[in-house]
Amino acid sequence: MSTHTALLDTRPISGRRTPPRPEPLLREALGEALRAFRAEQRITLRELAETARVSPGYISELERGRKEVSSELLASVCHALGVSVADVLIEAAGSMALSDVAEELATGNLTESAPTEA
């Protein structure tokens, strides 16, 4: 028997295995963030589209996560919203992280760790 085969662990995994959940899409998280900033400022979709110089339909597709956004267009929309691209990216990243935590909680894979004393 070679040492390589001895390293393989062929024991069955206990418990129920759930298929891995697909990663949240960045375009969806960006769309949610853009919509949240627009709603927070009480700007209509049409007003945002006019200011950003794109069609209302395109803004709608961005907000619904149906279209990928270029960096230039993202900058234009953010400028029209009066927020930085960084603000939108931070909001999107937070949304994606929360989605991961929610999934961990739902599957029971999140464990609570007690604070350690220094």
pLDDT digits (tens, 9 = 90+) for 12-53: 555 555 555 566 788 999 999 999 999 999 999 999 999 999
How many domains, the chain? 1
Quick check: is 1 in a domain?
no
Contact 55, 49 (CB under 8 A): yes
pLDDT at 77: 97
As a whole number of Å, the end-to-end CA separation of the chain is 47
Identify the pLDDT of residue 14.
57
**Structural domain contains residue 12:** no
When pLDDT is averaged across residues 1-22 and rounded to a whole number, the result is 53
**Which structural domain, as residue segments, surrounds residue 56?**
31-106
Round to whole Å and give the CA distance between 76 and 91: 17
Q: By CB neighbour count within 10 A (0-12 exposed, 13-18 middle, 19+ buried), where does 92 fall?
A: buried
Whether residue 104 is predicted with pLDDT greater than 70 in this model: the reply is: no
Query: For the domain that residue 93 is a member of, what is the CATH number?
Result: 1.10.260.40
Average pLDDT over residues 48-64: 97
